Amino acid sequence: MSNDPAVKTLHTVDDRSKVVAVLTTLVAFGAGILTIGEIEFVSIAAAAFGIGVRFASVWWGVRVFVDDDAVTIADQPTAGSFHHGAIGVALAAAGAVALIGRYLGGEIVTVAVAATGVGVVGFLGLSVLLPD
């Protein structure tokens, strides 16, 4: 049972990442509403940003607080078989690009395509570059 402390730490990281994700989503939504004002667009972009922060913070927390030989996210049966850090950073970047692009006056379709491209290319690149 050498992984018991690691699993407990993993659950703590998971629980705290939920709080971080909610707070960053609220900040992104509030900033978007104050600067852009389009509730539908801002809601989607802020949600992407917050979900990305959730995934990325769990990945980062496991890398920092859990021993390398103890447990990984991929070892958890309910975690899924994708790279949590890559999807997290890519989603957060896509949400940020969407909010910044719209704030700078970009058309909705152009900004949405650019943000989607950042998300897809970011995930593909980061899943190779970032360690598990």
Q: pLDDT tens per residue, the chain (132 residues)?
A: 445 676 787 788 888 999 999 999 999 999 999 999 999 999 999 999 999 999 999 888 877 876 666 555 556 655 556 788 899 999 999 999 999 999 999 999 999 999 999 999 999 999 888 877
Residue 82 falls in which region: left (phi positive, over 0), alpha (psi -120 to 50) or beta: beta
Write the burial class of residue 47 (CB in 10 Å: 0-12 exposed, 13-18 middle, 19+ buried). middle
CA distance 129 to 131: 7
pTM for the model stands at: 0.84
Confirm if 71 and 99 have CB atoms less than 8 A apart: no
